[in-house]
Amino acid sequence: VMGDHIYGDGFVEEAVHGEGLVVDPAPRYVDRAEATGVRIEGGRVVAIGKDVPDPDAYDTGFFVLDPTIFAVTAALAQRKASFELSEVMAQAKPPVHIVSGKLWTDVDTPADLKRARAILVSHAVKGTGDGLVSRLINRRVSTRISRLLVDRVTPWQATWATFGVGLLSAGLNLLSPAAAAVLYQVSSVLDGVDGEIARASMRTSPLGGWVDSVLDRYVDLAYLLSLAAVVQFPTSFWPVVALGLLGSVLVSYSTERFRGAFGEDMYRTVPILRFLPGKRDERILLTMVLVLLGLVRELFWVLAVLTHLRVFLTLLLGYRRKTA
Amino acid sequence: VMGDHIYGDGFVEEAVHGEGLVVDPAPRYVDRAEATGVRIEGGRVVAIGKDVPDPDAYDTGFFVLDPTIFAVTAALAQRKASFELSEVMAQAKPPVHIVSGKLWTDVDTPADLKRARAILVSHAVKGTGDGLVSRLINRRVSTRISRLLVDRVTPWQATWATFGVGLLSAGLNLLSPAAAAVLYQVSSVLDGVDGEIARASMRTSPLGGWVDSVLDRYVDLAYLLSLAAVVQFPTSFWPVVALGLLGSVLVSYSTERFRGAFGEDMYRTVPILRFLPGKRDERILLTMVLVLLGLVRELFWVLAVLTHLRVFLTLLLGYRRKTA
C-alpha cells in the first residue's frame, strides 16, 4: 500500500481478496481532480496517471501483487534511475479489482490532513450499542468535538473529563436541577468523545472501555441520587427511586454479562435489542426533558418501569436466541 | 480409557502427557482392595492384576499407547478367544506414567455409582469467584444437597427454584424480617446448587450462568428493597439504602464487565480480589447476622461503604494489572 494513504476496515477487508491494482470508480473521500486516474480494458490497466482523461476508475494506492512484478521493475530500473509505481503499473498492466465507495484517501497537504482527521472521527462511531438519541443527536455533536480534540487530548483524558462533567451535573442538582439536567445531557454527549478519539487514532483498549463503563454507572448513580435527594421525596416513594437507579445499572449489567458469558456483543447476537428503548443515551435525554418539565416523580416511575422491562426482554430474547 | 471410569480434568491434563500405562501409587477415590495392582520395575509394568501383593501403584484404566500394542493383542488373539486389557499390559510391559492423588475412579456397582456421584458433586465447586463464606459454609451444605438432587433435578430447575426461594425471602420481610434474613441466607446456599449439578453432570452452559447472574441481582434487589421498606427508614436515610443496593450490583458489574472487555476471569487475572471481602456470599451472611441482631441501619451503612470501596479497589487493581 502507499504509505501516505488511509484505508478503512471495510475497504481493506474487500481489497485483500483482490488481485492486481485495487481501483475505485466512485471515490467518496478524495478530490478526483487530484487523484490518479485509471483506464481499464478487459479487466486490466491500460493507462494510469493524473492526466488520463475521463478515467474509468481511480488508483487507490492498494496493490495485491505477486513476485512477477519484479521483472517489470528490474526492466524499468535498467532504463531509468528512478520511477514511480504508476509507471510500473502502466508497464505491467495488472488486472484491476474494484472496491467501490469504501473509505480510502491520501494525505499530501496540511489541508488533506485536516480533512482526513474529520473523516476518521466521523467513521469512529461505535458500531453497535448506540441508542436512537445517540445516533440522531449525540454523535453529531460528539464527532465535531472529537475532530477538534483528536490530536490534543488522549482518550483517557476525555474519559476522566467526561466523568468530571457527569459528577458536576450531579452536584449542580443542589443549586439548580434544571441546569443540572442540561449538564447531565451534555455529559452524555461528551461520553462519546473518548471512544471516538480512541478509534480515530487507533488507541482503543479494552481497559479504557471497562473503566469508562464503570464510571458511567457512577455518573448515573450520582446524578439520579442527588436529584432524588434534593426533590425530597417522601419515604413511600423511595422504593421507586431505588428501582429506577438499579434498573439503569441492570440494563447494562444484563447485556455486559451476556458478553462475559458468550464472548459476543449482545447487540449483534440479538439485533432487535438495538431498537428497544431504554439505553443510556435515551434515558438521559428523557431525564433532561422530564426534569425541565418539572416531572421528576414521573421520571423515576418511567425509569423504574422502562429499565426493568428492558432487562426482562433482554433475558427473554437472549434465552430464545440461544436455545433456538 | 476404560469406559466405566471417571476422570477429573486435573487427572486428564497430566495423564495425556504420559506414555504407557498411567498408574496412581496413592489413589484417593477407589477401594484399593478392589483395584488392579501394578508391580513396577525399571519404570515398566512387570506384573498387573487384582492379586498382585502389595502393589507399587494401581492401574487407572488410562493408557497412552502407540500402534505397536497391536502386535501384542494379535499374538494374544491367536492363543485365546477373549482376554482382558490387563493381560495385554502384562504381556507388553509398557512404561508406566505416574499421576498421583488426582480424581479418577471406576464404577462397577450401584454403590460405586452413588459414591461417584458424591465425588463428582464435591469436585463441581466453582474454581474462582467464591467468597470466604461460600468456601467455609455454603459449599459444604450445597454440595450435600446437590448430591441428592443431581440425578433428579436439572440445573435450570435448580436456578428457578433458588430464584423462587430468594423472592420468597424478600416477601417474608413483610411478616418477619428475622425469618426472611435466614431464608435469604438459605437462598444464598442454594445458589450453589444449579452450578454444582450442571458441572457434575457436564451440563454447564453460558446461558445458565448468564440468566442465573441476572436473577441473583434481582433477588438481592427484592430482598434489600423490601427490608428497607418494612423498616420504614426516614427519607434522609434512603440515599444510604440506594447506595447499598447499587453497590451490591456494581460489585458484580465491575468484575463481569472486566470479563466482557478482556475475556478473562478477573479473579484469575487479579487473584487478590478473591480475598477482598464484599462478594455476594459474604454480603448475604453479614446481612443475616446484622438483621438478626436488629442492626438494619448499620447493615445498609456497611453495604453502602463496603461495596463501593470494593468497586474502587476492583478498578484500581484491574487498571494496575493491565498497565503493569
Asked if A191 and A79 sit in the same domain, the reply is no
Residue B113 inside a domain? The answer is: no
Q: Could B322 and A207 be called an inter-chain contact, meaning their C-beta atoms sit closer than 8 Å?
A: yes
Residue A196 has pLDDT above 90, yes or no: yes
Coil, strand or helix at B22: strand
Q: Could B250 and A250 be called an inter-chain contact, meaning their C-beta atoms sit closer than 8 Å?
A: no
pLDDT digits (tens, 9 = 90+) for A241-262: 999 999 999 999 999 999 999 9
A127 band by pLDDT with thresholds 50, 70 and 90: low
Mutation for testing the A interface, residue in B219, B238, B317 having most A CBs under 10 Å: B238
Mean pLDDT of the A192-203 span: 91
The stretches of B53-122 forming alpha helices (DSSP H) are: 69-79, 85-92, 110-122
Angle of helix A155-172 versus helix A206-231 axis, rounded to 10: 10
Residue B285 inside a domain? The answer is: yes
Residue A114 inside a domain? The answer is: no
Residue A200 inside a domain? The answer is: yes
Whether residue A109 contacts residue A13, with contact meaning beta carbons closer than 8 Å, is answered with no
Check residue B275 and give its pLDDT: 87
- C-alpha to C-alpha distance for A249 and A308, rounded to whole angstroms: 10
Angle of helix B280-292 versus helix B238-262 axis, rounded to 10: 160
Asked if B16 and B149 sit in the same domain, the reply is no
Q: What is the dihedral of CA A292, A294, A296, A301, to 10 degrees?
A: -100
- Does residue B262 belong to the interface with chain A, where contact is any CB pair within 8 Å? yes
A131 band by pLDDT with thresholds 50, 70 and 90: confident
Residue in this structure with the C-alpha cell 471497562, named with its chain if needed: A210
Which residues in chain A touch residue B234, judged by CB atoms under 8 angstroms apart?
235
Whether residue A118 contacts residue A145, with contact meaning beta carbons closer than 8 Å, is answered with no
Domain that holds residue B210: 120-323
Residue A128 has pLDDT above 80, yes or no: no
Check residue A120 and give its pLDDT: 87
The minimal CB distance from B260 to the residues A232, A241, A259 is found for A259
Whether residue A240 contacts residue B238, with contact meaning beta carbons closer than 8 Å, is answered with no
Check residue B120 and give its pLDDT: 87
- C-alpha to C-alpha distance for A120 and A9, rounded to whole angstroms: 11
Check residue B101 and give its pLDDT: 86
Q: Could B210 and A311 be called an inter-chain contact, meaning their C-beta atoms sit closer than 8 Å?
A: no
Q: Could B253 and A214 be called an inter-chain contact, meaning their C-beta atoms sit closer than 8 Å?
A: yes
How far is residue B111 from each of residues B2, B29, B152, B315, measured CA to CA in Å?
Answer: 19, 13, 17, 50
How far is residue B101 from each of residues A2, B26, B220, measured CA to CA in Å?
Answer: 61, 6, 40
Three cell numbers at A182?
442540561
Whether residue B21 contacts residue B94, with contact meaning beta carbons closer than 8 Å, is answered with yes
Asked if B147 and B88 sit in the same domain, the reply is no
Of A156-160, A195-199, B8-12, give the range with the top mean pLDDT: A156-160
- Domain boundary among the residues A108, A138, A172 is at A108
Check residue B131 and give its pLDDT: 87
Mutation for testing the B interface, residue in A246, A310, A311 having most B CBs under 10 Å: A246
Q: B23: alpha, beta or left, given left = phi > 0 and alpha = psi -120 to 50?
A: beta
Q: What percent of chain A has pLDDT over 70?
A: 99
State yes or no: ipTM above 0.90.
no
Asked if A56 and A157 sit in the same domain, the reply is no
Residue A113 inside a domain? The answer is: no
Asked if A59 and A79 sit in the same domain, the reply is yes
Instruction: Give backbone dihedrals phi and psi of A21, rounded to 5 degrees, phi first.
Output: -95, 130
- Does residue A324 belong to the interface with chain B, where contact is any CB pair within 8 Å? no
Asked if B254 and B138 sit in the same domain, the reply is yes
Residue B70 inside a domain? The answer is: yes
Q: For chain B, which residues score pLDDT lower than 50?
A: none
Asked if A292 and A209 sit in the same domain, the reply is yes
SS (H, E, C) A213-262: HHHHHHHHHHHHHHHHHHHCCCHHHHHHHHHHHHHHHHHHHHHHHHHHHH
Closest-CA residue of A relative to B258 is A210
- Selection from A308, A280, A82, A296 nearest residue A187 by Cα: A280
Asked if B264 and B137 sit in the same domain, the reply is yes
Residue A89 has pLDDT above 90, yes or no: no
DSSP code at position B130: -
Residue B187 inside a domain? The answer is: yes
Check residue B75 and give its pLDDT: 92
Closest-CA residue of B relative to A234 is B235
The tally of domains found in chain B comes to 2
The minimal CB distance from B210 to the residues A211, A250, A261 is found for A261
Tell me the CATH number at B174. Answer: 1.20.120.1760
Sheet of strand A96-98: strand arrangement = A44-49, A37-41, A57-64, A20-24, A96-98
Asked if A213 and A146 sit in the same domain, the reply is yes
- C-alpha to C-alpha distance for B65 and B20, rounded to whole angstroms: 5
Three cell numbers at A72?
517489470
Whether residue B170 contacts residue B122, with contact meaning beta carbons closer than 8 Å, is answered with no
Asked if B89 and B132 sit in the same domain, the reply is no
Q: Could B256 and A260 be called an inter-chain contact, meaning their C-beta atoms sit closer than 8 Å?
A: yes
pLDDT digits (tens, 9 = 90+) for A29-51: 988 888 999 999 999 999 998 88
Check residue B246 and give its pLDDT: 96
Asked if A157 and A55 sit in the same domain, the reply is no
Tell me the CATH number at B94. Answer: 3.90.550.10
DSSP code at position B138: I
- Does residue B264 belong to the interface with chain A, where contact is any CB pair within 8 Å? no
Asked if A137 and A251 sit in the same domain, the reply is yes
The string over B256-265, giving b where at least 16 C-beta atoms fall within 10 Å of a residue's C-beta and e elsewhere, is bbbbbbbeee
- Domain boundary among the residues A79, A108, A137 is at A108
Check residue B113 and give its pLDDT: 87
Amino acid at B246: L
Residue A17 inside a domain? The answer is: yes
Closest-CA residue of B relative to A237 is B235
- Domain boundary among the residues B52, B73, B108 is at B108
